[in-house]
Amino acid sequence: MGDLIAIEPQGRIMNVILNRPANFNAFNLEMITDLARQLTRLAMDDSVQGIVLTGAGKVFCAGGDLKWVMQFSERPGASFHTLAAQFHAAILEIRRMPKPVVAAVNGMAAGGGFSLALACDFRIMEKSAVLRQAYTSNGLCIDGGGSFTLPRLVGLARALEIMAFDEPIPSEQAFRWSLVTRVVEDGGSVNAAINLAQRIASGALNSFAWSKRLMTEAFGNTLETQLEIERQGLAECADHAQGREGLRAFSEKRKPDFTM
Protein backbone atom coordinates (compact mmCIF):
# COMPACT_ATOMS: atom_id res chain seq x y z
CA MET A 1 0.00 0.00 0.00
CA GLY A 2 2.96 2.32 0.53
CA ASP A 3 3.24 5.22 2.91
CA LEU A 4 -0.09 6.65 4.01
CA ILE A 5 1.64 10.04 4.16
CA ALA A 6 4.10 10.58 1.32
CA ILE A 7 6.74 13.33 1.47
CA GLU A 8 8.14 14.85 -1.72
CA PRO A 9 10.85 17.52 -1.23
CA GLN A 10 10.60 20.50 -3.55
CA GLY A 11 13.80 22.28 -2.61
CA ARG A 12 13.23 23.44 0.95
CA ILE A 13 9.45 23.14 0.61
CA MET A 14 7.99 19.76 1.57
CA ASN A 15 5.02 18.44 -0.39
CA VAL A 16 3.05 16.35 2.12
CA ILE A 17 0.63 14.02 0.36
CA LEU A 18 -2.37 12.27 1.88
CA ASN A 19 -1.89 8.92 0.23
CA ARG A 20 -5.00 6.73 0.33
CA PRO A 21 -6.40 7.53 -3.13
CA ALA A 22 -8.48 4.32 -3.29
CA ASN A 23 -10.27 5.59 -0.16
CA PHE A 24 -10.51 9.21 -1.37
CA ASN A 25 -7.71 10.01 1.10
CA ALA A 26 -10.09 9.52 4.01
CA PHE A 27 -8.03 9.12 7.15
CA ASN A 28 -8.12 6.17 9.52
CA LEU A 29 -6.26 6.19 12.82
CA GLU A 30 -2.96 5.03 11.31
CA MET A 31 -2.98 7.69 8.60
CA ILE A 32 -3.89 10.67 10.77
CA THR A 33 -1.41 9.61 13.45
CA ASP A 34 1.32 9.54 10.81
CA LEU A 35 0.26 12.96 9.52
CA ALA A 36 0.56 14.46 13.01
CA ARG A 37 3.96 12.78 13.46
CA GLN A 38 5.28 14.01 10.11
CA LEU A 39 4.09 17.57 10.75
CA THR A 40 5.82 17.57 14.14
CA ARG A 41 9.04 16.37 12.54
CA LEU A 42 8.91 18.94 9.73
CA ALA A 43 8.15 21.77 12.16
CA MET A 44 11.41 21.04 13.98
CA ASP A 45 13.52 20.59 10.83
CA ASP A 46 15.40 23.84 10.23
CA SER A 47 16.11 22.85 6.63
CA VAL A 48 12.36 22.92 5.85
CA GLN A 49 10.95 26.36 5.06
CA GLY A 50 7.36 25.53 4.16
CA ILE A 51 4.74 22.82 3.78
CA VAL A 52 2.33 22.06 0.96
CA LEU A 53 -0.49 19.70 1.89
CA THR A 54 -2.38 17.89 -0.85
CA GLY A 55 -4.08 14.60 -1.72
CA ALA A 56 -3.01 11.77 -3.99
CA GLY A 57 -5.20 11.21 -7.05
CA LYS A 58 -8.22 13.39 -7.76
CA VAL A 59 -9.43 14.11 -4.21
CA PHE A 60 -7.90 16.29 -1.52
CA CYS A 61 -9.46 14.50 1.45
CA ALA A 62 -12.87 13.00 2.15
CA GLY A 63 -12.38 13.40 5.92
CA GLY A 64 -12.48 10.67 8.51
CA ASP A 65 -12.86 7.13 7.23
CA LEU A 66 -16.41 6.27 8.31
CA LYS A 67 -15.96 2.64 7.24
CA TRP A 68 -13.11 2.43 9.75
CA VAL A 69 -15.28 4.09 12.39
CA MET A 70 -18.15 1.67 11.81
CA GLN A 71 -15.90 -1.30 12.52
CA PHE A 72 -16.65 -0.28 16.10
CA SER A 73 -20.40 0.02 15.50
CA GLU A 74 -21.37 -0.61 19.12
CA ARG A 75 -19.38 2.44 20.25
CA PRO A 76 -18.76 4.72 17.24
CA GLY A 77 -18.39 7.61 19.67
CA ALA A 78 -15.35 5.96 21.22
CA SER A 79 -13.70 5.51 17.81
CA PHE A 80 -14.39 9.15 16.91
CA HIS A 81 -12.97 10.19 20.29
CA THR A 82 -9.74 8.35 19.50
CA LEU A 83 -9.57 9.47 15.86
CA ALA A 84 -10.25 13.12 16.70
CA ALA A 85 -7.41 13.20 19.25
CA GLN A 86 -4.85 12.51 16.52
CA PHE A 87 -6.64 14.70 13.98
CA HIS A 88 -6.59 17.61 16.41
CA ALA A 89 -2.90 17.02 17.11
CA ALA A 90 -2.27 17.49 13.38
CA ILE A 91 -4.40 20.65 13.30
CA LEU A 92 -2.46 22.13 16.23
CA GLU A 93 0.85 21.37 14.53
CA ILE A 94 -0.33 23.28 11.45
CA ARG A 95 -1.43 26.30 13.47
CA ARG A 96 1.74 26.31 15.60
CA MET A 97 4.04 25.71 12.63
CA PRO A 98 6.46 28.68 12.33
CA LYS A 99 6.45 28.18 8.56
CA PRO A 100 3.82 28.63 5.86
CA VAL A 101 1.43 25.72 5.37
CA VAL A 102 -0.43 25.82 2.06
CA ALA A 103 -3.28 23.48 1.13
CA ALA A 104 -3.31 22.48 -2.54
CA VAL A 105 -6.98 21.53 -2.86
CA ASN A 106 -6.80 19.31 -5.92
CA GLY A 107 -10.31 17.86 -5.59
CA MET A 108 -13.12 17.35 -3.12
CA ALA A 109 -12.36 18.49 0.43
CA ALA A 110 -15.17 17.22 2.66
CA GLY A 111 -15.73 16.68 6.37
CA GLY A 112 -12.38 16.46 8.08
CA GLY A 113 -10.75 17.33 4.75
CA PHE A 114 -12.70 20.60 4.77
CA SER A 115 -11.51 21.40 8.30
CA LEU A 116 -7.95 20.35 7.44
CA ALA A 117 -7.84 22.74 4.49
CA LEU A 118 -9.27 25.59 6.58
CA ALA A 119 -6.57 25.05 9.21
CA CYS A 120 -3.82 25.80 6.68
CA ASP A 121 -2.49 29.33 6.27
CA PHE A 122 -3.45 29.50 2.60
CA ARG A 123 -5.62 27.44 0.26
CA ILE A 124 -5.01 27.06 -3.48
CA MET A 125 -8.09 25.44 -5.04
CA GLU A 126 -8.48 23.91 -8.48
CA LYS A 127 -11.43 25.03 -10.60
CA SER A 128 -13.30 21.72 -10.55
CA ALA A 129 -12.68 21.08 -6.84
CA VAL A 130 -15.51 21.36 -4.33
CA LEU A 131 -15.64 22.08 -0.60
CA ARG A 132 -18.27 20.53 1.63
CA GLN A 133 -18.54 20.54 5.42
CA ALA A 134 -20.45 17.19 5.28
CA TYR A 135 -20.61 16.58 9.04
CA THR A 136 -24.20 17.68 9.61
CA SER A 137 -25.52 15.59 6.71
CA ASN A 138 -24.19 12.56 8.60
CA GLY A 139 -25.71 13.57 11.91
CA LEU A 140 -22.41 14.83 13.29
CA CYS A 141 -20.96 18.20 14.29
CA ILE A 142 -17.89 19.75 12.77
CA ASP A 143 -14.44 19.12 14.27
CA GLY A 144 -10.82 19.64 13.29
CA GLY A 145 -11.07 23.26 14.39
CA GLY A 146 -13.73 23.98 11.77
CA SER A 147 -15.96 25.68 14.31
CA PHE A 148 -13.01 27.99 15.09
CA THR A 149 -11.71 28.74 11.58
CA LEU A 150 -14.92 28.83 9.53
CA PRO A 151 -16.70 31.77 11.23
CA ARG A 152 -13.41 33.68 11.33
CA LEU A 153 -13.05 33.29 7.57
CA VAL A 154 -16.63 33.93 6.46
CA GLY A 155 -18.46 35.43 9.46
CA LEU A 156 -20.91 33.78 11.84
CA ALA A 157 -24.03 34.05 9.66
CA ARG A 158 -22.37 32.49 6.61
CA ALA A 159 -20.75 29.80 8.76
CA LEU A 160 -24.15 28.86 10.21
CA GLU A 161 -25.57 28.72 6.69
CA ILE A 162 -22.79 26.34 5.63
CA MET A 163 -23.43 24.22 8.72
CA ALA A 164 -27.22 24.14 8.39
CA PHE A 165 -27.60 23.37 4.69
CA ASP A 166 -24.31 21.63 3.79
CA GLU A 167 -24.45 22.68 0.15
CA PRO A 168 -21.38 21.84 -1.97
CA ILE A 169 -19.23 24.95 -2.43
CA PRO A 170 -17.62 25.18 -5.89
CA SER A 171 -14.29 26.95 -6.33
CA GLU A 172 -15.50 30.37 -7.52
CA GLN A 173 -18.01 30.57 -4.69
CA ALA A 174 -15.33 29.48 -2.22
CA PHE A 175 -13.14 32.32 -3.49
CA ARG A 176 -15.94 34.88 -3.21
CA TRP A 177 -16.60 33.75 0.35
CA SER A 178 -12.87 34.05 1.26
CA LEU A 179 -12.59 30.33 1.94
CA VAL A 180 -9.67 30.02 -0.47
CA THR A 181 -6.74 32.23 -1.39
CA ARG A 182 -6.66 31.56 -5.10
CA VAL A 183 -8.36 29.44 -7.76
CA VAL A 184 -6.18 27.84 -10.44
CA GLU A 185 -6.66 25.55 -13.42
CA ASP A 186 -7.10 21.85 -12.75
CA GLY A 187 -3.77 20.16 -12.16
CA GLY A 188 -2.08 23.41 -11.12
CA SER A 189 -2.74 23.58 -7.38
CA VAL A 190 0.46 21.89 -6.16
CA ASN A 191 2.81 24.02 -8.26
CA ALA A 192 0.93 27.18 -7.32
CA ALA A 193 1.07 26.21 -3.64
CA ILE A 194 4.80 25.47 -3.84
CA ASN A 195 5.43 28.82 -5.53
CA LEU A 196 3.46 30.63 -2.84
CA ALA A 197 5.36 28.88 -0.04
CA GLN A 198 8.69 29.60 -1.74
CA ARG A 199 7.77 33.27 -2.09
CA ILE A 200 7.10 33.53 1.64
CA ALA A 201 10.23 31.53 2.50
CA SER A 202 12.40 33.86 0.41
CA GLY A 203 11.39 36.74 2.68
CA ALA A 204 11.78 37.16 6.43
CA LEU A 205 10.51 33.78 7.59
CA ASN A 206 10.93 34.75 11.25
CA SER A 207 8.65 37.73 10.64
CA PHE A 208 6.05 35.43 9.07
CA ALA A 209 6.28 33.04 12.01
CA TRP A 210 5.65 35.81 14.53
CA SER A 211 2.83 37.32 12.45
CA LYS A 212 1.14 33.93 12.13
CA ARG A 213 1.39 33.36 15.87
CA LEU A 214 0.00 36.81 16.65
CA MET A 215 -2.99 36.43 14.35
CA THR A 216 -3.73 32.90 15.53
CA GLU A 217 -3.72 33.93 19.19
CA ALA A 218 -5.47 37.28 18.72
CA PHE A 219 -9.03 35.96 18.88
CA GLY A 220 -8.53 34.51 22.34
CA ASN A 221 -6.68 37.44 23.90
CA THR A 222 -7.68 40.73 25.42
CA LEU A 223 -6.30 43.86 23.76
CA GLU A 224 -3.90 44.37 26.66
CA THR A 225 -2.56 40.81 26.35
CA GLN A 226 -2.26 41.07 22.59
CA LEU A 227 -0.38 44.36 22.79
CA GLU A 228 2.13 42.87 25.19
CA ILE A 229 2.73 39.84 22.94
CA GLU A 230 3.16 42.21 19.98
CA ARG A 231 5.76 44.17 21.95
CA GLN A 232 7.62 40.96 22.76
CA GLY A 233 7.46 39.80 19.15
CA LEU A 234 8.60 43.14 17.77
CA ALA A 235 11.64 43.19 20.05
CA GLU A 236 12.58 39.60 19.22
CA CYS A 237 12.14 40.19 15.47
CA ALA A 238 14.35 43.29 15.66
CA ASP A 239 17.11 41.29 17.38
CA HIS A 240 16.87 38.39 14.90
CA ALA A 241 19.37 38.29 12.04
CA GLN A 242 16.60 38.87 9.51
CA GLY A 243 15.28 41.82 11.47
CA ARG A 244 18.73 43.36 11.68
CA GLU A 245 19.16 42.89 7.92
CA GLY A 246 15.77 44.47 7.24
CA LEU A 247 16.61 47.51 9.37
CA ARG A 248 20.05 47.90 7.77
CA ALA A 249 18.56 47.61 4.28
CA PHE A 250 15.98 50.28 5.10
CA SER A 251 18.63 52.70 6.37
CA GLU A 252 20.87 51.96 3.38
CA LYS A 253 17.97 52.33 0.91
CA ARG A 254 18.40 48.87 -0.62
CA LYS A 255 16.43 45.67 -0.90
CA PRO A 256 17.02 43.36 2.09
CA ASP A 257 18.63 39.97 1.61
CA PHE A 258 16.97 37.54 4.04
CA THR A 259 18.77 34.47 2.68
CA MET A 260 21.79 34.81 4.96
pLDDT digits 0-9 by tens, 47-70:
999 999 999 999 999 999 988 888
Question: CA 112, CA 95: separation in Å to the nearest integer?
Answer: 16
Does some domain include residue 256?
Answer: no
Number of domains in the chain: 2
- Asked if residue 186 has pLDDT above 60, the reply is yes
pLDDT at 164: 96
Question: CA 36, CA 50: separation in Å to the nearest integer?
Answer: 16
Could you tell me the CATH number of the domain that includes residue 45? 3.90.226.10
Sequence-ordered list of residues with C-beta below 8 angstroms from that of 112, at least 6 positions apart, any chain: 27, 61, 63, 64, 87, 143, 144
Question: CA 55, CA 190: separation in Å to the nearest integer?
Answer: 10
- Asked if residue 1 has pLDDT above 50, the reply is no
**Structural domain boundaries enclosing 126:** 5-201
pLDDT at 2: 66
Output Rg (C-alpha) for the chain, integer angstroms.
Answer: 19
Share of residues in the chain with pLDDT > 70 (%): 98
Residue 53, CB half-sphere, CA atoms under 13 Å: how many? Answer: 28
> What does pLDDT average to over the chain?
95
Share of residues in the chain with pLDDT > 90 (%): 92
Q: State mean pLDDT over 138-143.
A: 93
Residues 81 and 210 grouped into a single domain:
no
Residues 192 and 214 grouped into a single domain:
no
- Asked if residue 176 has pLDDT above 90, the reply is yes
Could you tell me the CATH number of the domain that includes residue 224? 1.10.12
pLDDT at 71: 81
